[in-house]
C-alpha cells in the first residue's frame, strides 16, 4: 500500500523533490513543482478568474472541435522533462505545473491519460490577485525553457491579454490585446478571438 503524505507541513520546503515524490502527496493545498522546489499555488480562484477561464474554455472547445489538438484545464498535471534523456523516470522529473488551460497537438504527450509529458503547444495562465509577480516570472522562464510555442497571460482586472511567441528559443511579446480588440493566435492563425468574449 502506498504511503501518502497528507500534510504539507511534514515536508521540508527547502528540499528538492521529484515527480515520484509528488505522486505521494495528498494534501489539501494545491502545489506545483518547479525544478524540484515546491511552489504553493494561490488559494481558490475568485469568480472573475473562474468566469474568464470558462469563457476561454468555451472558445477553445468550439475552435478545436473536430481537430486533432486537445485542450485541458486545471487541475491537470503537465510534467516538463529533460528531452535530452531517453528515459523519463518519475524520479528524474523535477517540474510539474498546472496551467489554467493548455493545448496539446502531439497526442503522444497525453498517451497515458493521466498527464501531459512535455511542453504543451499553447499555455494560458489567468492572473488572480493572489498570483505573485515572482510566480509569473518563474512560469515565463519555465515555459520558454521547456519550448511552449505560445503563451498567453490573461489580466482580468485590466481586461487585456499578452501573447508571447517562441522564436529561436526566446519569447517575443506581441502588442497586448485589450477589451474590444480581435486577438489572433500566431500558432493557430485561424483562431480569432473577440477579447470582449473572454471578459464577458
pLDDT for res 87? 52
Give the DSSP per-residue string, 17-46. --HHHHTTB--SS-EEEETTEEEEPPSSP-
In this structure, the number of other CB atoms found within 10 A of the CB of residue 148 comes to 26
> Residue 88: is its pLDDT beyond 90?
no
Mean pLDDT on 81-103: 80
Q: What confidence score (pLDDT) does residue 91 get?
A: 83
Q: Which domains does the chain have, with CATH numbers?
A: 47-80+97-198 (3.90.1570.10)
Is 80 exceeded by the pLDDT of residue 179?
A: yes
Q: Do the beta carbons of residue 52 and residue 125 sit within 8 Å?
A: no
Return the higher-pLDDT residue of 4 and 121: 121
Residues 200, 198: Cα–Cα separation, whole Å: 6
- Do the bridges between strand 122-126 and strand 150-155 make them parallel or antiparallel, or are there none, so unpaired? parallel
For position 153, what pLDDT does the model report? 94
Residues with Cβ within 8 Å of residue 174, at least 6 apart in sequence:
162, 163, 164, 165, 186
Instruction: Specify the residue for cell string 503547444.
Output: 121
Mean pLDDT of the residues in the chain: 90
pLDDT value at 166 more than 60: yes
Amino acid at each position: 500500500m502506498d504511503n501518502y503524505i497528507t500534510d504539507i507541513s511534514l515536508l521540508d520546503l527547502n528540499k528538492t523533490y521529484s515527480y515520484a515524490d509528488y505522486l505521494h502527496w495528498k494534501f489539501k493545498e494545491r502545489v506545483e513543482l518547479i525544478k524540484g522546489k515546491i511552489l504553493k499555488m494561490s488559494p481558490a480562484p475568485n469568480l472573475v478568474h473562474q468566469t474568464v477561464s470558462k469563457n476561454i474554455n468555451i472558445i477553445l472547445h468550439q475552435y478545436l472541435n473536430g481537430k486533432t489538438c486537445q485542450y485541458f484545464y486545471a487541475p491537470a498535471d503537465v510534467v516538463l522533462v529533460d528531452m535530452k534523456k531517453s528515459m523519463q523516470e518519475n524520479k528524474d522529473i523535477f517540474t510539474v505545473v498546472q496551467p489554467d488551460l493548455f493545448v496539446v497537438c502531439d497526442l503522444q504527450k497525453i498517451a497515458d491519460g493521466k498527464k501531459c509529458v512535455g511542453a504543451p503547444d499553447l499555455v494560458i495562465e489567468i492572473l488572480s490577485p493572489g498570483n505573485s509577480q515572482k510566480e509569473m516570472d518563474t512560469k515565463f522562464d519555465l515555459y520558454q525553457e521547456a519550448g511552449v510555442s505560445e503563451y498567453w497571460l490573461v489580466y482580468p482586472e485590466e481586461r487585456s491579454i499578452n501573447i508571447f511567441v517562441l522564436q529561436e528559443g526566446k519569447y517575443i511579446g506581441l502588442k497586448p490585446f485589450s477589451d474590444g480588440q480581435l486577438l489572433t493566435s500566431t500558432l493557430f492563425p485561424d483562431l480569432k478571438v473577440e477579447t470582449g468574449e473572454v471578459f464577458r
